[in-house]
Amino acid sequence: MKFEKIAAPKGVREYLPPESQAFEWVRQQLISPAKRAGYQLMELPVFEDTSLFNRGVGESTDVVTKEMYTFEDRGGRSITLRPEGTAGVMRAVIEGNLDRGQLPVKVWYSGQFFRAERPQAGRYRQFYQVGIEAIGIDDPALDAEVIAIADQGFKNLGLKNYRLEITSLGDAQSRAAHRVDLMKFVSKLDLDEATRTRSEINPLRIFDDKRPEIKEAMQSAPILMDYLSDYSRDHFEKVKSYLDALGVSYTVNKRMVRGLDYYTGTTFEFVHDDLGAQSGIGGGGRYDGLMEVLGGQALSGIGFGLGVDRALLAAIAENTLPVQDFNSDLFIIPLSLDEKAYVLNLAQEVRRAGFAVEVAFGDRSLKGAMKGADKSGARFVAVIGESERESGDVELKRMSDGTSIRVKISELQKVLEA
Ligand code: HAM
């Protein structure tokens, strides 16, 4: 009987060697600035109670109405694969009482997220984000630092062809004032039922509509930035001046609307110019009402999510991935069965000294094993036979130029360090 192959589900992005090494490098570079700024890891479930996202992300969003992977579990509960990270962090902060301790609560996370979008280059149904959230302090300096941390992540990758766009979505007072005029404007438009319903839940959504006729009509719509309360305006001015002080360049995009409903005040997006339609490499902002909506205290929050898949595509487009970094330092070939245990031990020892070491397995010819060594990309290769074991010397071949040196096995580490 012949079994059929099974393919990965449609639209998922997975990373196999050697690409996975580049992916992991990108992920580490993106998140390292947050770790250095005192953010701490949060490991959260990839599925949550569906109501968390309905309430947290918002009923007017595409994410909630069209894109969630929702199913009933065996206990009849409605479960959803997380489409984003902020709502889950907030749930965990409330549940774990972190908001009763030192503020701001500063956490980072990394993992898979799920949205049933139409797959295309840079848009997947399972994708990867790293993100941070800073909860409980409303200080424009914090907003600027959060943005600068994201920016540093992209700089770590060596990216240049990207822009930061910022806006303010105002506080409740700003939004209420804007809503009155916007609803008046929208009521004059010829909208279908679904769009009208969305606009009633969150009128800002219509700015996000991709249809040309609606885009055109919205050109003359009242803009939230013109309705900012004194508090929101002053807050935003301060964020901008801190960004200036930090040397983080930005443009103000008065029409920016993000795909999630919880945003208030400072909101931002990083856009890469070489990626085509899916150009958003990261985004975030304040969400000052979210904790309360999820049953917690009325505390503020700000954070970002960076798209690791798209950041990798950007690094490939700008050719900034390091070439060498991923290979091991030493590849050891045992000449016969008698040397295997010795070689395994030696490999462990050199690894303990901090080097990456691979061993040749199987009973291949020396030629075959050398081929394997070559393919591995290791810096050095050592062949160990009986005479090496006895003399304690080994011939170390430098793969970059093919030259060999004879060294004492006990001094291997010194050579590798050089
Ligand atoms: P978001 O803008 O929906 O924000 O997603 C953040 C980033 O995730 C995007 O800029 C993009 O790079 C990546 N991304 C989103 N959807 C996909 C997809 N289908 N395929 C590939 N990449 C994708 C959030 O998720 C917020 N939770 C960010 C945040 C944290 N705001 C405040 N705190």
How many angstroms is it from 367 CA to the middle of ligand 1? 49
Q: Give me the mean pLDDT over the 193-218 stretch.
A: 86
Residue minimizing CA distance to atom 31 of ligand 1: 284
Task: Give the number of the atom of ligand 1 that is nearest the alpha carbon of residue 258.
Answer: 2
> Same structural domain for residues 285 and 407?
no
User: Which atom of ligand 1 is nearest to 117's Cα?
Assistant: 19
Q: How sure is the predictor about 209, in pLDDT bands with cuts at 50, 70 and 90?
A: confident
Q: Are residues 244 and 311 in the same domain?
A: yes
Looking at ligand 1, which atom is closest to the CA of residue 286? 32
Ligand 1 centre to CA of 85 (Å) is 9
The CATH number that applies at residue 365 is 3.40.50.800
The rounded Å distance from CA 27 to ligand 1 centre is 14
Is 203 among the domain residues?
no
User: How far is ligand 1, taken at its centre, from the CA of residue 343, in Å?
Assistant: 47
Do the domain assignments include residue 186?
no
CATH number of the domain that 255 lies in? 3.30.930.10
In this structure, the answer to whether residues 266 and 337 fall within a common structural domain is no
Given the CA of residue 63, which atom of ligand 1 is nearest to it?
A: 3
Residue 266 CA to ligand 1 centre (angstroms):
16
Q: Find the mean pLDDT for residues 344-365.
A: 94
Per-residue model confidence (pLDDT) at position 325: 63
Residue of the CA atom closest to atom 9 of ligand 1: 282
Question: Do the domain assignments include residue 183?
Answer: no
Q: Are residues 135 and 242 in the same domain?
A: yes
Q: In this structure, is residue 297 part of a structural domain?
A: yes
Range of the domain at 36: 19-171+229-317
If asked whether residues 307 and 354 sit together in one domain, one would say no
Question: What's the mean per-residue pLDDT of the chain?
Answer: 94
Which of 110, 129, 268, 309 is the pocket-test mutation for ligand 1 (most atoms within 8 Å of CB)?
129
pLDDT digits (tens, 9 = 90+) for 298-354: 999 999 999 999 999 999 999 999 976 678 999 999 999 999 999 999 999 999 999
What total of structural domains would you count in the chain? 2
- Which token pair is 405? 């040196």
Quickly state the pLDDT bin for 409 (edges 50, 70, 90).
confident
Do 100 and 242 lie in one domain? The reply is: yes
Residue 3 placed within a domain? no
Last residue of a domain, one of 317, 340, 360: 317
Q: What is the rounded radius of gyration, in angstroms, for the C-alpha atoms of the chain?
A: 27
**Could you give the percent of the chain with pLDDT greater than 90?**
83
Distance CA 320, CA 312 (A): 10
pLDDT at 355: 95
Are 255 and 393 part of one and the same domain? no
Which pTM does this prediction carry? 0.93
Q: Is 37 a residue whose pLDDT tops 90?
A: yes
User: Are 108 and 254 in the same domain?
Assistant: yes
pLDDT band at 361 (very low <50, low <70, confident <90, very high): very high
Q: Are 115 and 128 in contact (CB under 8 A)?
A: no
- As a whole number, mean pLDDT of residues 21-33 equals 97
Which atom in ligand 1 lies closest to the alpha carbon of residue 311?
12
pLDDT digits (tens, 9 = 90+) for 257-305: 888 999 999 999 999 999 999 999 999 999 999 999 999 999 999 999 9
Expressed in angstroms and rounded, the spacing between residue 127 Cα and the centre of ligand 1 is 9
Do 70 and 137 belong together in one domain? Answer: yes
Domain check: are 348 and 408 in the same one? yes
User: Mean pLDDT across the stretch 50-62?
Assistant: 94
User: What is the distance in A from the centroid of ligand 1 to the CA of 83?
Assistant: 9
Q: How confident is the model at residue 201 (pLDDT cuts 50, 70, 90)?
A: confident
pLDDT at 324 (0 to 100):
64
Is residue 245 located within the same domain as residue 293? yes
Regarding whether 270 and 397 lie in a shared domain, the answer is no
In the predicted model, is pLDDT for residue 12 greater than 70?
A: yes
Last-in-domain residue among 285, 317, 349: 317
| Separation of CA 154 and ligand 1 centre (Å) | 15
Which of 84, 130, 208, 268 to probe ligand 1 with, by most ligand atoms within 8 A of CB? 84
User: Who lines ligand 1 at CB under 6 A?
Assistant: 84-86, 115, 117, 122-124, 127, 129, 131, 133, 259-260, 280-285, 303-305, 307, 309-310
**Cα angle value 89/93/98 (rounded, 5°):** 145
Centre of ligand 1 to C-alpha 304, Å, is: 8
User: Is 193 part of any domain?
Assistant: no
- Average pLDDT over every residue of 183-187: 90
**Which of the four pLDDT bands, split at 50, 70 and 90, describes residue 205?**
confident
CA distance 294 to 286: 15
Cα–ligand 1 centroid distance for 241 (angstroms): 26
Whether residue 273 is contained in a domain is answered as yes
Ligand 1: residue of 64, 127, 286 to mutate (most ligand atoms within 8 A of CB) is 127
Q: Tell me: the pLDDT tens digits for 130-151?
A: 999 999 999 999 999 999 999 9
- The CA 305 to ligand 1 mean position distance, Å, reads 5
pLDDT band at 182 (very low <50, low <70, confident <90, very high): very high
Task: Give yes or no for residue 85 having a pLDDT over 70.
Answer: yes
Ligand 1 binding pocket mutation candidate from 310, 312, 313 (most atoms within 8 A of CB): 310
Of residues 15 and 257, more confidence is placed in: 15
Candidate from 9-23, 29-43, 182-196 with smallest mean pLDDT: 182-196
The minimum-distance atom of ligand 1 relative to the CA of 270 is 10
* Of 290, 317, 344, the domain-final residue: 317
188 in any annotated domain: no
CA of 128 to the centre of ligand 1 (A): 9
| pLDDT for the residue numbered 203 | 85
